Copies of this chain bind each other. A is one copy, B any other.
């Protein structure tokens, strides 16, 4: 049946630039380049859980793809292709058109061909799958952290959580700060260029989607190491200046999520090189701690005297509490 949902599928059919066969057959055909492995990932966004039902469709379209590309960035893979499965309560063009615009704005920004998908009736849920390429042996995983490594993070994790706090009325932000925080929440920029630039430099990498503590905990667990963050090195200035509430700023930084910055570890003798990457890309990179040999999976934040400080919360909570 060529129903309304098949018609609406047309909004997702665009010219592709590096795909053998795209939308319109039983599946798409891709031709990976020689010497490449494929990195693949899928993250599902559900209305009422990951976003509010009245969320701006254009922002949502961008974000649905961006959070998936962030996973590729965290593996040092180059985004190439995407599929999109989406369930919609109704075939409303006034929603689907801006959603598709937002999705393709992100796809175009990062060189992604949308090659297939499925559109069906149902409670609003968005499930993109992304496929990237990475030269054999060049992927950066969560399990490569080595004792003695520096721990780094890009940008200012916590901006998205601070936006959420402001939306909930828990803090006041200046107009400038509010705009910056909302941009982090609604239009996250996956750190694709940074991920690629860290090939051969970073030992382990993850994107900060669940919160800095929680995500560095994944690296510590998978690498069988402990991680010690130095409180005075944490990039908290922007958050503190925005909210004026130091406790909230710290909670957002350590336990906020949904930012899609990259956290990674690398050898101490690569410090200058890493700093050069940041300068070249115009991305702030903060060296925030060190990898230790044990106990495995432990994560601590210490003051300048080496005393453990209490961790702030356990990680990101979605809009609707799980």
Residues of B within 8 A of A5 (CB): 322
Contact check, B81 vs A27: say whether CB atoms are below 8 A apart.
Answer: no
Residues of B within 8 A of A205 (CB): 26
Highest count of chain B CB atoms <10 Å: which of A34, A46, A49, A127? A127
Within 8 A of B (CB), among A126-159: 127, 129-132, 134, 136, 139, 141-143
Within 8 A of B (CB), among A58-95: 71-72, 74-75, 77, 81, 83-87
Give the distance to chain B from A195, nearest Cβ to Cβ, in Å.
10
Contact check, A28 vs B49: say whether CB atoms are below 8 A apart.
Answer: no
Give the distance to chain B from A50, nearest Cβ to Cβ, in Å.
7
Residues of B within 8 A of A44 (CB): 85-87, 118, 120, 122, 125, 127
With A40-B115, A123-B122 in contact, is A1–B129 under 8 Å at CB? no
Residues of B within 8 A of A129 (CB): 40, 42, 83, 85, 129
A20 interfacial contact with B, CB 8 Å: yes
- Tallying the copies of this chain within the complex gives 2
A289 interfacial contact with B, CB 8 Å: no
Give the distance to chain B from A43, nearest Cβ to Cβ, in Å.
5
Cα distance A277–B85 in the bound complex, in angstroms:
35
Which residue of chain B has the shortest Cβ distance to A217 in the bound complex?
A: B2
Give the distance to chain B from A44, nearest Cβ to Cβ, in Å.
4
A182 interfacial contact with B, CB 8 Å: no
A199 interfacial contact with B, CB 8 Å: no
Instruction: Report which of B136, B206, B316 forms a contact with A26, defined as CB distance below 8 A.
Output: B206
Residues of B within 8 A of A49 (CB): 87, 120-122
Within 8 A of B (CB), among A11-45: 20-21, 24-32, 34, 37-44
Residues of B within 8 A of A42 (CB): 83-85, 116-118, 127, 129
Cα distance A148–B114 in the bound complex, in angstroms:
35
Instruction: Report which of B87, B207, B320, B322 forms a contact with A125, defined as CB distance below 8 A.
Output: B87
A310 interfacial contact with B, CB 8 Å: no
A303 interfacial contact with B, CB 8 Å: no
CB-defined A-B contacts under 8 Å, sample of 15: A25-B75, A25-B141, A26-B72, A26-B74, A26-B206, A27-B75, A30-B40, A40-B83, A42-B129, A43-B118, A44-B122, A49-B122, A83-B129, A85-B85, A127-B127
Give residues in A with beta carbon < 8 Å to B: 1-5, 20-21, 24-32, 34, 37-44, 46-50, 71-72, 74-75, 77, 81, 83-87, 115-118, 120-123, 125, 127, 129-132, 134, 136, 139, 141-143, 205-207, 210, 214, 222, 314-317, 320, 322
